[in-house]
Chain A
Amino acid sequence: MSVILLLIPLSVVLAAGFLWAFFWAVRSGQYEDTTTPSLRILTDDGSNPPVTQPISTNEKQQ
């Protein structure tokens, strides 16, 4: 049964990984708006993801 002495610290490390994931989710703002994503998924056609860098993709049309 002494293997449990190894398994327990390992389980803590694993759980710490989940805690880190939670921290990341909170820090990236996923807990700030829980309504819009549920609407967004309805209209998500997947064809044209919005450009993140405003300058790069759109061509100048002036």
Chain B
Amino acid sequence: MDVTANLSSVVSAAAPLAARTTRASCFHCGTACAETVWTKADRAFCCQGCQTVYELLAENGLGQFYEWGEVAGRRVEALADENKFRFLDEPAVRARLVDFDDGKTTRVTLQLPAIHCVACVWLLENLFRLKPGIGQSRVNFARQEAVVTFDPQRISLSGVAALLDSIGYEPNLKLADLDGKRANPVSRRLWLQLGVAGFVFGNTMLFSLPGYFGLDSLSGPAFRTLVGWLSLGLSVPVVAYSAADFFRTSWLSVRQRRLTIEVPIAIGIAVIFLQSAGEVISDRGEGYFDSLAGLTFFLLCGRIFQQKTYDRLAFDRDYKSFFPLSVLRRQADREERVSLGQIGIGDRLVIRHGELVPADARVLGGEALIDYSFVTGESEPVVKAAGELLYAGGRQMGGALEVVTVKPVSQSYLTSLWNQDAFRKEKDDTFNTLTNRYSQQFTWIILGIALAAAAFWSVVEPARALRSFTGVLIVACPCALALAAPFTLGAALRTLARRHIFVRNTDTLEALARIDTVVFDKTGTLTAAQAGEVAFVGPELSPGEGALIAAVARQSTHPLARRLAAGWERNAAAAATLTEFREIPGQGVQAQVNGTPVALGSCRWLASLGVVLPPLETATGSTVAVAIGGVFRGAFTLSSALRPETARLLQRLAERYEIALLSGDHERDRARFQALFGPRAHLQFNQSPLNKLGFIRDLQAAGRTVMMVGDGLNDAGALRQSEVGVAVVENIGAFSPASDVIMDATLVPRTAELLRFARQTTRVVRLSFLISSLYNVVGLAIAASGRLSPVVCAILMPVSSVTVVAFAVLVTGWLGRRAGLEVSIAAHSTPKEGEPA
């Protein structure tokens, strides 16, 4: 089969040949190749990394990887670094990471975020063909994990990690991994409990059916006795094992003097079992064993549904999920990767481009250009000179940097912030849910009715008193009630998750419906740093000039330069020879391009180079002045753009909610945002993480229920403090601070619809309560008269549960389709870099 033709027809169906001659796409990862194309066996690659992966796979008979019809590879730019994972072989780190080790076989579970398609699964499960020593490997696609077995005498843990990294699946190793393993999503125990309940439910129902149709008389009295005792025996594990959790949680809540929904459930189950056991032992009837097992079965189904909904994302992340496991340490001219825990005061660390500063440290050498956006929310990187202090959590945007630590990791600025009580506040107000508020009153009412019925019959007809008492408790057992909220809200959570809004649990959805104040962070939340407009002020640039500018800008790692370069990339094809390249951090870049001096940078810096500058209008955002041939040519203005439809969002929210803005940025945009938010809104600028936290706390002290929408660690405290903290992420699955909701950044303009959907679903829950109450009224009327027969119970119980669940799921699904949570294609695609005017 001609794989090449197949692939290029996928990539560029219209003109595969033309595409290959002008701008080939990489055979491995599908990225459009730059001017330098690596070729091997007639196939084009965008970089050496991709080519190496191809060679490795082809040599080991894994060329099939490319035949699964999609662009399977992920771009591998850097060649594998042998020492990158060396720290994994330290005994302490290794012991924490591996699941199993007996000296001959080691098993490790690694998180591989690059897993994205069928071919990934296939390649990773054929890993053993690439390196001797590797045994079976199993992929869990949903969790993006691979379990790899290997022979530790032939390949080390670091070797396995390096192999995965070399084929494009870099393991995601974070400090948090050392704290222990994550629990299984839906625990096996719950499945087993469900299995037992289902088994008993089916059997007891079969046993009871002849009785319900009056057929048991055919088999004589021995039949009834046998079936009764069998049902009793089978029901013991249901009560003792399957329903054990209901008894435990209700006992806990009673001890805390609270009546959660589990209390009436536990009472109901206990009463059904005792009553039925009494009937069988005294040979007075067959009991309600089928209802008992059915009830437990339905309740456990609800629990599993709920847990399956929850196990999508981790919401409780702290700084440990943010920091990598290792850092490059320089000791006596030797560099080694060491785990973060081993870093002490006075260690010399090398921080490369894109890496985090793991502990508070002082700059020794190199160009420190630190992006503190995670910590402070400031979008522009700051320049730090040698001798200056860097705070942990900053990301190096310049080249390699050497620092000396002044504090251990655990006492750094960021970690000490996290260790503050306010940042660690556990949200434990699950008691205040709709279900539990309802069950408070419900439990007392039911107990009251049961006692009243018993009192009435003990006067009128004492033989019926006990039966009516237990009958009320049995029929009122709030199975449908307990299922209403988990199923409605669970269906809502799934609807939202499909649209990339991940809500921590059903309580959060209820809390969303109660919100009355919405607070936004600015940078990264309302504005998208990467989507800003790049506009050129000055006489129009010729394509040649554009190429000159792009050639220089491309050499710099400064974010503004990157954006400039991206905006002009189509002009970059012309081969440019760069000489005398010089970058002054925080000032600008200059170089000779094909002999022409080009300088890009701040106005002040250009002036210091002797360029004569006209007075520039200082617009909002950042300005990059351009001089070509020593003459001022104009200036680029780069603004951090608002996300599309922000004005509409704020307008809609303002109709119903109080809105406010918190920003770590300076005040230059105040007027613009005041206009957007309306005159009454609070706008706070220059906010530190603690300021933001305090602002939320003040709102709450004034009786407001607050939703905070933010990104980054600088909002972490505010996200925790607020009733609902919404973390906005550009990339679902990437790091986000601890929060209640994780939302795709493109969906920020849909916040108003999200809140409306939450309000609607809580209304559905209330309606479901109403339906289940109607069933209860019917059941109670029968039970209070002391005439509750097993067959009525056996019909009423499942019918009420099924109708409530069906109603909840169908209505929520319908609401979800109408919620308007989709972002239109036009709004979804990030705006292209603005055309230079």
Report whether A8 and B184 are in contact in the complex, using a CB–CB cutoff of 8 Å: no
0/1 string, B159-192, CB within 8 A of A gives 1: 0000000000000000000000000111010011
Shortest CB distance A47–B (Å): 10
How far apart are the CA atoms of A8 and B225 in the complex, in Å?
Answer: 12
Interface-centre pick from B119, B135, B143 (highest chain A CB count, 10 A): B135
Stretch at the interface among B75-83, B195-203, B493-501: B195-203
Report whether A43 and B151 are in contact in the complex, using a CB–CB cutoff of 8 Å: no
Report whether A19 and B196 are in contact in the complex, using a CB–CB cutoff of 8 Å: yes
Interface status of B389 (Cβ within 8 A of chain A)? no
Known contacts being A33-B142, A36-B121, A54-B133, is A26 close to B222, with CB within 8 Å? no
Known contacts being A43-B122, A50-B126, is A23 close to B132, with CB within 8 Å? no
Interface status of B826 (Cβ within 8 A of chain A)? no
Report whether B135 and A19 are in contact in the complex, using a CB–CB cutoff of 8 Å: no
Known contacts being A5-B222, A39-B121, is A52 close to B136, with CB within 8 Å? yes
Contact of B118 among A8, A12, A39, A48 (CB under 8 A): A39
Report whether B219 and A54 are in contact in the complex, using a CB–CB cutoff of 8 Å: no
With a cutoff of 8 Å between Cβ atoms, the chain B residues found around residue A23 in the complex are 192, 195
Shortest CB distance A22–B (Å): 5
Report whether A50 and B135 are in contact in the complex, using a CB–CB cutoff of 8 Å: yes
Contact of B195 among A22, A36, A60 (CB under 8 A): A22
With a cutoff of 8 Å between Cβ atoms, the chain A residues found around residue B227 in the complex are 8
With a cutoff of 8 Å between Cβ atoms, the chain B residues found around residue A51 in the complex are 128, 135-136
Contact of B135 among A12, A53, A61 (CB under 8 A): A53
Closest B residue to A54 by beta carbon equals B135
With a cutoff of 8 Å between Cβ atoms, the chain B residues found around residue A32 in the complex are 140, 184-186, 188
Closest B residue to A60 by beta carbon equals B132
How far apart are the CA atoms of A27 and B195 in the complex, in Å?
Answer: 12
With a cutoff of 8 Å between Cβ atoms, the chain B residues found around residue A31 in the complex are 186, 188, 191
Report whether B226 and A43 are in contact in the complex, using a CB–CB cutoff of 8 Å: no
A26-42, CB < 8 A from B: 26-27, 31-36, 39-40, 42
Q: Interface size for chain B: under 10, 10 to 19, 20 to 34, or 35 or more residues?
A: 35 or more
Report whether A19 and B118 are in contact in the complex, using a CB–CB cutoff of 8 Å: no
With a cutoff of 8 Å between Cβ atoms, the chain A residues found around residue B137 in the complex are 50
Report whether B223 and A18 are in contact in the complex, using a CB–CB cutoff of 8 Å: no
Report whether B222 and A9 are in contact in the complex, using a CB–CB cutoff of 8 Å: no
Report whether A54 and B105 are in contact in the complex, using a CB–CB cutoff of 8 Å: yes
Report whether A19 and B134 are in contact in the complex, using a CB–CB cutoff of 8 Å: no
Closest B residue to A19 by beta carbon equals B199
Report whether B230 and A12 are in contact in the complex, using a CB–CB cutoff of 8 Å: yes
Interface status of B652 (Cβ within 8 A of chain A)? no
Known contacts being A19-B199, A32-B184, A50-B125, is A4 close to B118, with CB within 8 Å? no
Report whether A26 and B226 are in contact in the complex, using a CB–CB cutoff of 8 Å: no
Closest A residue to B139 by beta carbon equals A36
Report whether A27 and B188 are in contact in the complex, using a CB–CB cutoff of 8 Å: yes
Interface status of B459 (Cβ within 8 A of chain A)? no
With a cutoff of 8 Å between Cβ atoms, the chain A residues found around residue B226 in the complex are 5, 8-9
Closest A residue to B134 by beta carbon equals A54
Report whether B195 and A8 are in contact in the complex, using a CB–CB cutoff of 8 Å: no
Shortest CB distance B809–A (Å): 20
Interface status of B334 (Cβ within 8 A of chain A)? no
Contact of B133 among A35, A39, A58 (CB under 8 A): A58
Closest A residue to B227 by beta carbon equals A8
Known contacts being A2-B220, A50-B135, A54-B150, is A36 close to B105, with CB within 8 Å? no
With a cutoff of 8 Å between Cβ atoms, the chain B residues found around residue A2 in the complex are 219-220, 222
Contact of B141 among A4, A33, A50 (CB under 8 A): A33
Shortest CB distance B610–A (Å): 63
How far apart are the CA atoms of A33 and B68 in the complex, in Å?
Answer: 22
Report whether B140 and A1 are in contact in the complex, using a CB–CB cutoff of 8 Å: no
B222-244, CB < 8 A from A: 222-223, 226-227, 230, 234
Interface status of B129 (Cβ within 8 A of chain A)? yes
Shortest CB distance B775–A (Å): 30
With a cutoff of 8 Å between Cβ atoms, the chain A residues found around residue B192 in the complex are 23, 26
How far apart are the CA atoms of A11 and B105 in the complex, in Å?
Answer: 44
Closest B residue to A44 by beta carbon equals B122
Shortest CB distance B220–A (Å): 7
Report whether A40 and B219 are in contact in the complex, using a CB–CB cutoff of 8 Å: no
With a cutoff of 8 Å between Cβ atoms, the chain A residues found around residue B202 in the complex are 15
Interface status of B257 (Cβ within 8 A of chain A)? no
Shortest CB distance B635–A (Å): 52
Report whether A4 and B223 are in contact in the complex, using a CB–CB cutoff of 8 Å: yes
With a cutoff of 8 Å between Cβ atoms, the chain B residues found around residue A45 in the complex are 64
Report whether B135 and A52 are in contact in the complex, using a CB–CB cutoff of 8 Å: yes
Contact of A58 among B64, B132, B207 (CB under 8 A): B132
Shortest CB distance A48–B (Å): 7
Interface status of B812 (Cβ within 8 A of chain A)? no
Shortest CB distance A17–B (Å): 11
B56-102, CB < 8 A from A: 64, 68
Interface status of B154 (Cβ within 8 A of chain A)? yes
Closest A residue to B196 by beta carbon equals A19
Report whether A26 and B128 are in contact in the complex, using a CB–CB cutoff of 8 Å: no
0/1 string, B192-222, CB within 8 A of A gives 1: 1001100100110011000000000011101
With a cutoff of 8 Å between Cβ atoms, the chain A residues found around residue B135 in the complex are 50-54
Contact of A15 among B121, B128, B140, B203 (CB under 8 A): B203
With a cutoff of 8 Å between Cβ atoms, the chain A residues found around residue B195 in the complex are 19, 22-23, 26
Report whether B118 and A43 are in contact in the complex, using a CB–CB cutoff of 8 Å: yes
Report whether A33 and B125 are in contact in the complex, using a CB–CB cutoff of 8 Å: no
Interface status of B149 (Cβ within 8 A of chain A)? yes
Report whether B230 and A60 are in contact in the complex, using a CB–CB cutoff of 8 Å: no
Shortest CB distance B143–A (Å): 7
How far apart are the CA atoms of A15 and B137 in the complex, in Å?
Answer: 35
How far apart are the CA atoms of A50 and B137 in the complex, in Å?
Answer: 8
Report whether A36 and B203 are in contact in the complex, using a CB–CB cutoff of 8 Å: no
Shortest CB distance B138–A (Å): 8
Interface status of B427 (Cβ within 8 A of chain A)? no
Report whether B143 and A33 are in contact in the complex, using a CB–CB cutoff of 8 Å: yes
Closest B residue to A36 by beta carbon equals B141
With a cutoff of 8 Å between Cβ atoms, the chain B residues found around residue A15 in the complex are 199, 202-203
With a cutoff of 8 Å between Cβ atoms, the chain A residues found around residue B104 in the complex are 54-55
Closest A residue to B67 by beta carbon equals A43
B675-732, CB < 8 A from A: none
Closest A residue to B199 by beta carbon equals A19
How far apart are the CA atoms of A47 and B134 in the complex, in Å?
Answer: 18
A-B contact pairs, 17 of them (CB 8 A): A1-B218, A4-B223, A5-B219, A9-B226, A12-B234, A16-B199, A26-B188, A26-B191, A31-B186, A31-B188, A31-B191, A35-B140, A51-B135, A53-B105, A54-B105, A55-B151, A62-B132
Given A26-B192, A58-B134, A60-B154, output 19 extra A-B contacts at Cβ < 8 Å. Answer: A1-B219, A8-B227, A11-B203, A19-B199, A26-B195, A32-B186, A32-B188, A36-B142, A39-B118, A40-B122, A40-B125, A48-B126, A48-B129, A54-B104, A54-B133, A54-B135, A55-B151, A58-B128, A59-B132
Q: What residues make up the interface of B, taking CB atoms closer than 8 Å to A?
A: 64, 68, 104-105, 118-119, 121-122, 125-126, 128-129, 132-143, 149-151, 154, 184-186, 188, 191-192, 195-196, 199, 202-203, 206-207, 218-220, 222-223, 226-227, 230, 234
Q: What residues make up the interface of A, taking CB atoms closer than 8 Å to B?
A: 1-2, 4-5, 8-9, 11-12, 15-16, 18-19, 22-23, 26-27, 31-36, 39-40, 42-43, 45, 48, 50-55, 58-62
Closest 7 CB pairs of A and B: A54-B135, A43-B122, A54-B151, A36-B141, A35-B142, A19-B199, A50-B136
